Structure 1
């Protein structure tokens, strides 16, 4: 087993979604909260900031079921920066409900309302902006093939009280050209609001990425494999998805029954019509990756195994039991993406669960790092692939847990005595700080990147858990109150355990050249 001194690279990362940052009303933002967070990471020798998808969330707050896989989340737009940069006058926010900036919970209702009001204000003061800014916006808009469909989709959704697109009047649900063209002309100002929001979000995220590069911090993003049925993606590209004209699913995604669920998981998202994607050389997919890799440096592909084979279930099924495995052309897609990147792919494969040799072969062919979760390691099997000593080679990202897991302290408290004894045996019989002790085990492995959810560094229990899969109503809401001394102390203690990964595009993670070259 490698030791810390033998490792050329052992980088530390923290998993924290921007909505959980403090010091802005409703939820975190891409303004000063993100800048302060990046500086805290860099000052404490932590080289990676991992986030969840930055796209707009669904009604439950989940960023994994977004109305657009190309757009950014308007709730993350920083209003203070808009004023400071002259896009809004100083008094524009005088009557703006400021909300609590020290809440321990994201207020989705307020954050969504706030984003809508910002859209109104940006459109209202847009005529006052300089000619240069108008030209910059127009040039950017022309380069965003997805923007018009996204703006139309979000405005129609607003006008029809949030109904899914298949319940809109037929001329809009079916995208009748004559009606849609007339409607666009009649709603020109409202559509501008959505486009301006996305432009400013893009500008703020580019600024954050630039700062991260200057500080030597890698931005690590997340790409859901499937897209939501009720999304601009499906509404505007129906031929690419297994969906009927009336919006009903022909077939849908999920995973088969396993140890955790006797009926499997039914996800309700449309399957890709892979033969169509293959015929057009995966144009939609390649645009999607290019968009993501302009926003972040490193990207996790959720449900990676579906690039080899996917579980297909009838659209009318109520459980995932009676599906079947189907082959997908992931190798062809990754080959084209590699050409687009002109080098190794800056991707991480989410290869958790039951993974076949074919999936491992595809991951290894493109030299993609895989994932290891320490909470899965202690079932008594000495061959368990998540045990630190069984993690061979450095092409791995190792976690104590992810956003979908229990926090480590709650996992420990709810583990049976056999599991606890297996963990205790590695520490001479004493486990006083489960999150930190699991981190020590992670650092004893050969993985070149260790990532900890911030909750584990702060010894927080499941009251601060970010998501409990299969439940709705209380997920995605956890948030920091402030960057207090406890957080600063936790980051300092964590940073002292690793080797800071100074920003380099010649790293083993495939960051060969700036993603702006895509």
Structure 2
């Protein structure tokens, strides 16, 4: 596992040539173990992408998830750590951390179609404990000490995260704001004492992160060798009950009484997804602090965060890019997001500072929701491509920005995202006006009302559009309905569970996708040259 330092491997722009990719989270991959992971199925999917002429694989955040947050990867206990549930038992066996016959029996609750997070967590914890015990039994005390010193040097965020995780276990999963005062305030002596007292739990957490990043680095390297780049996802905010907020409280908008509770929280006003807005509950950043030290620490934290994610992916989609121009601040006591106010974000100076420190930023700006000229100017001044969602296009207006004839080259077109209906689910939905469905069919030059083939209509529109990059959710490639939807915003349960059974990822599907990708000039440059020679 290499040190998490960003070495630019791409230009930072996606509009140099027409390309396409697939959106499928790691957890949705096939595997025998209840959840997709970094094992053989992930390599098989990379092979599928290469065969089908895709240049990109977009994933959701790879961070740890928690039942307290509905297992959402957008509300994690760490902005830096990896999700241990994605560690592959098959690779642990291959690498000698445990033997095949040691694997616990598979629970009956495991399904190839849905993730049962509770059952998966219990089972995967047993597997990782076996690997941990093997490490302890085969490494001397000096070897263990050297291993963890080197590991925490490579991953500077790991010390706080592993102690945070150990303390959560120690205090029965209570939030850090309910811990004893000296630990709640992250006082150095209390932190040092806790590290010593909880050393085994701390080190086990660190060992799991070693396994995660070792396996992910191997997969990332394999994808690069096949000509597939990874688009990662960076949520703008972090969870209140996270190692990030606990370890650096001054850079967040928390109560001056040092209670650990926020004064204002993040969300968005009423929009397409919710009539009362979305109340996310994340603490906001102190962009406008009067303290020069706090401002510097906030910039340093963001530099570390960007370097960390850019060390493990090729391009980042910044979720809620809008918040860098202006953010919706909701009083923490409110029960909905309706009474928030817009506050100015850090703007272009933030990104120029990050580019000065890091280099070119390969960013896709998630610019959905409330769009303002100021936000568009920030995106365009930075040269970042925005997102165009076809399912938002059919409101009967010819000037709708999401219709392909209104798209520019420097954008990324999606049929839908992880937050939307699937294409077929949208067409079958009783909540979608019949006029919108008719317009969609007419726009695709279809004279039928066949819902089962509507995904083909949207794939055609997306791939043929002027957008430089076309990203297709795997559910839409397969023509699945809303029973395969990944997330429904504003709901707390039943999300993030969908899995793609292995029988659906076929060579025949790859051939069809490759054909349409070639038709619209989106094959990788190398693949285009190979096809010309064959012709």
Corresponding residue to 2:389 among 355, 358, 373: 373
From the superposition, tell whether residues 89 and 247 of structure 1 become closer, same or farther in structure 2 (CA, over 3 Å).
Answer: same
Secondary structure of the residue aligned to 2:309 is helix
| Matched residue count | 494
Q: Secondary structure at the match of 2:311?
A: helix
Deviation (angstroms), 1:492: 2.5
Counterpart pick for 1:149 among 157, 160, 175: 160
1:63 aligns with 2:51: no
- Distance apart, 1:135 and its partner CA: 5.1
Alpha carbons 2:109, 2:116 under 8 Å: kept: no
- Deviations along 1:355-407, one digit per CA (max 9) or x if unpaired, are 11111111111111110000010101111000000002x21110110000001
Q: In the alignment, which of 281, 285, 296 is matched to residue 268 of structure 1?
A: 281
Cross-structure match for 1:511 = none
Deviation at 1:423, TM superposition (A): 1.8
Q: TM-score, normalised by structure 2?
A: 0.87
Q: Does the alignment pair 1:464 with 2:484?
A: yes
Structure 1's unaligned 5+ residue stretches are 1-6, 505-518
| 1:76-475 matches, cutoff 5 A | 76-89=86-99, 91=101, 93-95=102-104, 97=106, 103-127=112-136, 128-129=138-139, 138-244=149-255, 245-258=258-271, 260-275=273-288, 278-280=295-297, 282-343=299-360, 345-392=361-408, 394-414=409-429, 415-426=432-443, 427-432=445-450, 433-475=453-495
Change (3 A) 1:406 1:259: closer
* Local SS of the residue matching 1:295: coil
Q: Supply the distance in 1 between the matched residues of 2:155 and 2:526 (Cα, whole angstroms).
A: 29
1:98 Cα deviation after fit: 6.6
Q: Deviations over 1:17-72 (max 9, x none)?
A: 10011123121111212111111111221111110000011311100000101000
Aligned-residue offset at 1:142: 0.9
SS of the residue corresponding to residue 310 of structure 1 reads strand
User: Shift of residue 209 of structure 1?
Assistant: 0.8
Structure 2 CA distance for partners of 1:133 and 1:13, relative to 1, 3 Å:
farther
The whole-number CA distance in structure 2 between the counterparts of 1:55 and 1:220 is 14
Q: Distance in 2 between matches of 1:72 and 1:170?
A: 28
* Preserved contact between residue 220 and residue 298 of structure 1 (Cα < 8 Å): yes
Q: Is residue 501 from structure 1 mapped to residue 520 from structure 2 by the alignment?
A: no
Contact 1:249 1:316 in 2 (8 A): no
The reply to whether residue 491 of structure 1 matches residue 510 of structure 2 is: yes
Kindly indicate whether the alpha-carbon contact (under 8 Å) linking 1:209 and 1:295 is maintained by their aligned counterparts in 2.
yes
Q: Distance in 1 between matches of 2:322 and 2:304?
A: 21
Deviation at 1:503, TM superposition (A): 8.2
User: If the length of structure 1 is used for normalisation, what is the TM-score?
Assistant: 0.90
CA distance in 1, matches of 2:16, 2:243: 45
Contact 1:15/1:51, CA 8 A, preserved across alignment:
yes
Deviation at residue 449 of structure 1 after TM alignment = 1.1
Deviation, structure 1 residue 145: 1.6
Larger deviation: 458-467 or 158-167?
158-167
Other structure's SS at 1:450 match: strand
What is the CA–CA distance in structure 1 between the aligned matches of 2:298 and 2:261, rounded to whole Å? 27
Q: Is the 8 A contact 2:104 2:126 kept in 1?
A: no
Name the residue aligned to 2:83: 73
State how far apart, in whole Å, the 2-side matches of 1:301 and 1:455 are. 22
- CA displacement at 1:97 relative to structure 2: 4.3
Write the distance in 2 (CA, Å) between the matches of 1:330 and 1:24: 46
CA distance in 1, matches of 2:161, 2:297: 22
RMSD: 2.3
Q: Deviations over 1:204-226 (max 9, x none)?
A: 11101100110000101111111
In 1, Cα distance between equivalents of 2:223 and 2:104: 34
Deviation at 1:333, TM superposition (A): 1.8
Determine the C-alpha separation between the residues in 2 that align with 1:181 and 1:307: 36
C-alpha distance in 1 between matches for 2:189 and 2:369: 48
Please say if residues 404 and 466 of structure 1, whose CA atoms lie closer than 8 Å, have aligned partners that are also in contact: yes
Q: Distance in 1 between the 2:526 and 2:343 partners?
A: 40
Shift of 1:448: 1.2
Q: Which moved more, 1:52-61 or 1:119-128?
A: 119-128
Query: d(CA) in 2 for partners of 1:258 and 1:292?
Result: 30
Structure 1 distance, partners of 2:209, 2:341, is 39
Partner of 2:11: none
Are the aligned partners of 2:272 and 2:369 in contact in 1 as well (CA < 8 Å)? Answer: no
Give CA deviations for 1:228-255 in whole Å, capped at 9, x if unaligned: 0111111111111111222221111111
Within 1, Cα distance between the matches of 2:332 and 2:167?
A: 25
Q: Is the 8 A contact 2:265 2:331 kept in 1?
A: yes
Helix, strand or coil at the partner of 1:477: coil
Counterpart of 1:476 in structure 2 is: 496
- Deviation of 1:264 (Å): 2.2
| 490 and 275 in structure 1: CA distance in 2 versus 1, 3 angstrom threshold | same
Give, in whole Å, the separation in 2 of the partners of 1:9 and 1:133.
48
